[in-house]
């Protein structure tokens, strides 16, 4: 979808017309116009200015303080009208250029500083704001595309919900650390195989990574985490539980806000994404410190790392290869989160359903509706962007 | 004025802190019109606000261009709207700047005059002896920052040096982009052809300019660009990017325009270099002619005359009631309008308190300056000096 660059109308026309006619009457002494001495260009250009006086539409008043952009719409209409009349006038003029009683107008105003012009310094010409462009590089969205794009947000929201429900189950004892370790390890292995195949398929630079090294790194990391889990378990013993819950909510909010939702970047975790990951890890450590045995802490934290560092990568790959698969994942995650929360708190589950639906179906409509208020202004005053080819580099 | 400098000659806004001292000055010097310059100056905004609270006439001159997209632009535009919604007249330095200011502050364009800057042409006279005739010298004088398009300069210099073995560059000014230029010079072994002067004092600008044949300006945004006027006055051919108000400043025979793009700048410079060789054959391209023309175009006398016209125009305008001022501020925005009203109201109240604390009658008026006597003494001294 593309949008036509619209030239804004000049809302100062009525006033200026007023100006000009005054000047034409009282200003320069009336002389006879001879096309020979003036050149044809001047005749065509100048005569309409004089004739315009007679065709002028009623002068609008009450303009004392206005935003030039607000009245753009109706000014455009006036502008069109004016152009039409002046054009016919020009034809008239060339047809009968020997009309005897035409007053010679002033030389047309030029947008220059180095010449002395017979116009006052506060003169406003027709060409005022001529070079202004409105919404020249705005991209219009269409509904279905935006709906598909929102899936990344609902996916992430659902994944946070699932993560919290896993914690609650672990906390209540309905899920043991051992089960969680097995489940998360199995899914990680599956994800790894999937990732490997996809790298071959998409020919991304990651296929060069030596798999053995990756596995070695993962093992080392798991052992380290296992050794640290008793420390992490007792980390916030002196902090009140309410504080922990509140902080967790804040950090998950940060995670949601800064998550890297773009699909372009498959492996690297860069600035906003890194903030998001850090917030998630912090929240998980806070939650893990509320658990009561070391194995649970280890299981929960390793699950947290996989869930927040690796699972988004998986989702990005999926999005890259097919929209349908991504949609399916969204559905599965949303339903899973709802189902898990049904046992914990029905209100939260319902809230989750509604917010997912809202984000997926209502927010795109909202965005498209709000686009009508888009008011991007470009003009000669904008800072130019230097274009450099660097032939020598 | 007692103000602490925070960052590069800028002080923090004090809102009402300067009111007492401004009021003293206004009354003591019997001021009728307060004229502030520059949208970035907190001092200017405060002076105008206080002057309005005291019922004086105000004029504002804007020297800058600002876009509408970035955060600093949006914030500053709001501030500008605040000040400009209650000034009697605004002055811009170019027509493009006027368009920009009218849009930024939602002003009535009839309330904005265009009065360009000027130079003291006598200080920028050409000096043919200062050039080295065996070279074609291209002079660049600007702060070495991104906004001045130094990135373009960095890529254009080696290409021009490769194309024209007789061309050399003299680059004056300092800034963060200087490193890029130095690296470029090392990399292409141009030490003997690219001279980096560092920062140049205002008094030395002319001496640097007259060494050159061509002046290059690569700015990315510019409301007026006094540098190219100074260069043209010194008789240099000007090559400049076509941005902001620059197309309005000089006639076509003095300036060659380029798009802010590497190839186009090289192309425009090539044209200008060809014209340098052509110059002796054309009297209308001679440095002397350039100087005499620029002298006619831009003089401070002319600026003063036109500014005085603005003053005369506003001095008799009837003062609107306070509620009308509030109405104008209120129209500045949904939230900002209310804040602006609040600030204006507080300022007005402070004005009332100050009038009670230091009544107008108790402030000593300054003696009018005896300019005739001064002139006489100066003349006498000059005569004595000559003897």
On whether both B98 and B162 belong to a single domain, the answer is: no
**pLDDT value at residue B146:** 92
Which residues of chain A neighbour B69 with C-beta distances below 8 Å? 376
The CATH number given to whatever domain includes residue B245 is 3.40.50.2000
Average pLDDT, chain A: 75
**pLDDT value at residue A4:** 40
Rounded distance, CA A180 to CA A288, Å? Answer: 13
On whether both B231 and B92 belong to a single domain, the answer is: no
B326 falls within a domain: yes
On whether both B128 and B243 belong to a single domain, the answer is: yes
Please, which pLDDT band fits residue A65 given cuts at 50, 70 and 90? Answer: very low
- Asked if A121 and B114 come within 8 Å (Cβ–Cβ), the reply is yes
B35 falls within a domain: yes
- Asked if A387 and B188 come within 8 Å (Cβ–Cβ), the reply is no
- The residue among B279, B274, B299, B301 whose CA lies nearest residue B289 is B279
On whether both B190 and B310 belong to a single domain, the answer is: no
B330 falls within a domain: yes
Q: Residue A28 above 70 pLDDT? A: no
- Identify from A381, A387, A388, A392 which residue to disrupt to test chain B contact, counting B C-beta atoms within 10 A and taking the largest count: A381
Which residues of chain B neighbour A122 with C-beta distances below 8 Å? 89, 109-114
Higher pLDDT, A242 or A130: A242
Higher pLDDT, B14 or A264: B14
**What angle in degrees, to the nearest 10, is found between the helix axes of A294-305 and A143-172?**
170
- Asked if A114 and B249 come within 8 Å (Cβ–Cβ), the reply is yes
**pLDDT value at residue A66:** 39
Query: What percent of chain A has pLDDT above 90?
Result: 35
**pLDDT value at residue A38:** 36
Phi-psi region of A141 (alpha: psi -120 to 50; beta: other; left: phi over 0): beta
Q: Residue A251 above 70 pLDDT? A: yes
* Most confidently modeled range among A19-33, A78-92, A242-256: A242-256
B373 falls within a domain: no
**pLDDT value at residue A104:** 64
DSSP state of A60: P
**pLDDT value at residue B356:** 93
- Asked if A389 and B328 come within 8 Å (Cβ–Cβ), the reply is no
On whether both B136 and B283 belong to a single domain, the answer is: yes
Compute the nearest-CA separation of A393 from chain B (Å). 10
**Predicted ipTM?**
0.82
Nearest residue on chain B to A380, judged by CA atoms? Answer: B244
Task: Look at the alpha carbons of A281, A283, A289, A291 in this order and tell me if their dihedral is positive or negative.
Answer: negative
Which of B297, B331, B352 corresponds to the end of one domain? B297
Q: Taking a contact as any Cβ pair under 8 Å apart, which residues of chain B between 299 and 318 contact chain A?
A: 306, 309-310
**pLDDT value at residue B172:** 94
Q: In which residue ranges of chain B is pLDDT below 70?
A: 1-10, 387
Nearest residue on chain B to A374, judged by CA atoms? Answer: B69
What does the pLDDT look like over B223-273, one tens digit per residue?
999 999 999 999 999 999 999 999 999 999 999 999 999 999 999 999 999
Higher pLDDT, A42 or A98: A98
B282 falls within a domain: yes
Give me Rg for the CA atoms of chain B: 25
Q: What is the mean pLDDT of residues A221-226?
A: 92
Compute the nearest-CA separation of A294 from chain B (Å). 49
B18 falls within a domain: yes
CB atoms within 10 A of CB A306: 17
B385 falls within a domain: no
Compute the nearest-CA separation of B259 from chain A (Å). 9
**pLDDT value at residue A197:** 83
On whether both B158 and B267 belong to a single domain, the answer is: yes
**pLDDT value at residue A392:** 54
Which segment of A164-178, A217-231, B63-77 scores lowest on mean pLDDT?
B63-77
- The residue among A105, A108, A103, A107 whose CA lies nearest residue A127 is A108
CB atoms within 10 A of CB A317: 22
Task: Report how many helices (DSSP H) and strands (DSSP E) chain A contains, helices first.
Answer: 14, 3
Range of the domain at B14: 5-118+302-365
Give the one of B106, B151, B260 whose C-beta lies nearest to A68's C-beta.
B106
On whether both B247 and B223 belong to a single domain, the answer is: yes
Q: What is the b/e burial string over A330-364, where b = at least 16 CB atoms within 10 angstroms of the residue's CB?
A: beebbeebbebbeeeeeebbeebeeebeebbeeeb
Give the H or E element holding residue A276: helix A271-288
On whether both B17 and B154 belong to a single domain, the answer is: no
* Most confidently modeled range among A109-123, A154-168, B310-324: A154-168
On whether both B258 and B309 belong to a single domain, the answer is: no
Rounded distance, CA B275 to CA B253, Å? Answer: 10
On whether both B50 and B64 belong to a single domain, the answer is: yes
Which residues of chain A neighbour B221 with C-beta distances below 8 Å? 381-384
Q: What is the mean pLDDT of residues A174-186?
A: 92
On whether both B293 and B174 belong to a single domain, the answer is: yes
Phi-psi region of B333 (alpha: psi -120 to 50; beta: other; left: phi over 0): left
Nearest residue on chain B to A67, judged by CA atoms? Answer: B106
B378 falls within a domain: no
Please, which pLDDT band fits residue A48 given cuts at 50, 70 and 90? Answer: very low
**pLDDT value at residue A92:** 42
Please, which pLDDT band fits residue A242 given cuts at 50, 70 and 90? Answer: very high
Nearest residue on chain B to A71, judged by CA atoms? Answer: B106
Which residues of chain A neighbour B94 with C-beta distances below 8 Å? 113
* The residue to which tokens 């409105």 are assigned: A134
Q: Residue A121 above 50 pLDDT? A: yes
- Asked if B115 and A111 come within 8 Å (Cβ–Cβ), the reply is no
DSSP state of B173: -
Q: Which two tokens stand for residue B106?
A: 């939602």
Nearest residue on chain A to B116, judged by CA atoms? Answer: A113
Q: What is the mean pLDDT of residues A207-227?
A: 83
Q: How many domains does chain B have?
A: 2
Rounded distance, CA A84 to CA A81, Å? Answer: 5
Q: Residue A223 above 90 pLDDT? A: yes
Compute the nearest-CA separation of A67 from chain B (Å). 5
Q: Residue A99 above 80 pLDDT? A: no
- Asked if B110 and A113 come within 8 Å (Cβ–Cβ), the reply is no
What is the distance in angstroms between the CA of the first residue and the CA of the last residue of chain B?
41
Nearest residue on chain A to B102, judged by CA atoms? Answer: A68
Q: Residue A30 above 90 pLDDT? A: no
Which segment of A150-164, A191-205, B283-297, B339-353 scores lowest on mean pLDDT?
A191-205
pTM recorded for the entire structure: 0.69
On whether both B103 and B26 belong to a single domain, the answer is: yes
């Amino acid at each position: 979808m593309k949008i036509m660059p619209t030239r804004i109308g000049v809302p100062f026309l009525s006033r200026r017309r007023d100006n000009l006619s005054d000047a034409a009457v009282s200003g320069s002494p009336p002389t006879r116009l001879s096309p020979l001495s003036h050149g044809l260009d001047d005749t065509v250009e100048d005569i309409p200015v004089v004739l315009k006086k007679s065709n002028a539409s009623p002068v609008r008043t009450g303009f004392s303080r206005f935003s030039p952009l607000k009245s753009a719409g109706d000014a455009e209409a006036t502008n069109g009208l004016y152009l039409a009349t002046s054009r016919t006038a020009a034809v008239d003029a060339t047809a009968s250029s020997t009309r005897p009683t035409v007053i010679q107008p002033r030389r047309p105003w030029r947008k220059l500083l180095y010449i002395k012009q017979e116009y006052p310094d506060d003169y406003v010409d027709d060409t005022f704001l001529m070079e202004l462009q409105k919404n020249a590089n705005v991209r219009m969205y269409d509904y279905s595309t935006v709906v598909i794009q929102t899936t990344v947000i609902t996916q992430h929201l659902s994944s946070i919900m699932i993560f919290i429900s896993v914690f609650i189950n672990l906390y209540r004892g309905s899920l043991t650390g051992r089960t969680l370790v097995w489940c998360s390890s199995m899914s990680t292995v599956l994800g790894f195989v999937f990732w490997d195949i996809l790298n071959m398929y998409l020919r991304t630079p990651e296929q060069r990574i030596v798999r053995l090294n990756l596995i070695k790194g993962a093992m080392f990391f798991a052992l380290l985490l296992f050794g640290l889990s008793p420390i992490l378990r007792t980390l916030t013993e002196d902090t009140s539980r309410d504080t922990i819950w509140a902080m967790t909510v804040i950090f998950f909010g940060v995670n949601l806000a800064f998550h890297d939702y773009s699909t372009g970047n498959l492996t690297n975790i860069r600035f906003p994404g890194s903030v998001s990951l850090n917030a998630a890890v912090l929240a998980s450590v806070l939650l893990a410190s509320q658990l009561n045995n070391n194995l649970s802490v280890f299981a929960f934290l390793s699950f947290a790392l996989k869930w927040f560092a690796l699972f988004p990568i998986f989702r990005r790959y999926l999005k890259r290869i097919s929209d349908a698969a991504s949609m399916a994942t969204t559905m599965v995650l949303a339903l899973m989160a709802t189902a898990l929360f049904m046992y914990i708190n029905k209100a939260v589950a319902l809230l989750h359903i509604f917010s997912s639906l809202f984000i997926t179906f209502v927010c795109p409509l909202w965005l498209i509706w709000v686009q009508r208020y888009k008011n991007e202004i470009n003009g000669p005053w904008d800072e130019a962007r230097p274009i450099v080819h660097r032939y020598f580099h | 004025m007692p103000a602490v400098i925070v960052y590069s000659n800028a002080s923090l806004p004090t809102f009402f802190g300067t009111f007492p001292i401004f009021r003293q000055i206004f009354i003591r010097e019997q001021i009728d019109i307060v004229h502030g310059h520059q949208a970035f100056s907190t001092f200017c905004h405060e002076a105008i606000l206080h002057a309005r609270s005291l019922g004086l006439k105000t004029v504002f001159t804007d020297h800058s261009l600002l876009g509408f997209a970035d955060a600093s632009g949006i914030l500053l535009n709001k501030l500008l709207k605040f000040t400009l919604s209650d000034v009697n007249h605004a002055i811009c330095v170019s027509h493009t700047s006027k368009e920009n200011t009218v849009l930024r502050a939602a002003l009535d364009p009839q309330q904005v005059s265009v009065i360009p800057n000027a130079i003291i042409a006598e200080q920028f006279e050409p000096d043919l002896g200062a050039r080295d005739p065996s070279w074609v010298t291209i002079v660049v004088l600007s702060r070495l920052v991104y906004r001045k398009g130094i990135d373009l300069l960095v890529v254009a210099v080696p290409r021009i040096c490769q194309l024209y073995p007789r061309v050399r560059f003299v680059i004056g000014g300092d800034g963060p982009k200087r490193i890029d230029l130095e690296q470029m010079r090392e990399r292409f072994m141009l030490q003997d052809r690219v001279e980096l002067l560092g920062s140049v004092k205002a008094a030395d600008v002319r001496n640097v300019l007259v060494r050159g044949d061509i002046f290059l300006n690569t700015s990315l945004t510019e409301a007026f660009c006094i540098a190219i006027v100074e260069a043209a006055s010194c008789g240099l051919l000007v090559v400049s990017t076509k941005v902001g108000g620059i197309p309005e400043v000089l006639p076509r025979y003095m300036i060659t325009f380029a798009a802010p793009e590497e190839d186009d700048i090289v192309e425009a410079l090539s044209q200008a270099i060809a014209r340098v060789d052509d110059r002796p054959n054309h009297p209308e391209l001679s440095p002397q002619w350039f100087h005499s023309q620029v002298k006619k175009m831009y003089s401070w006398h002319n600026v003063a005359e036109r500014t005085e016209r603005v003053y005369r125009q506003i001095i008799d305008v009837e003062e609107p009631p306070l509620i009308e001022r509030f109405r104008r501020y209120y129209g500045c925005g949904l939230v900002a309008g209310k804040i602006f009203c609040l600030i204006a109201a507080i300022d007005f109240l402070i004005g009332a308190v100050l009038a009670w604390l230091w009544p107008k009658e108790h402030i000593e008026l300054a003696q009018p300056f005896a300019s005739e006597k001064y002139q006489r003494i100066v003349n006498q001294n000059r005569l004595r000096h000559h003897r």
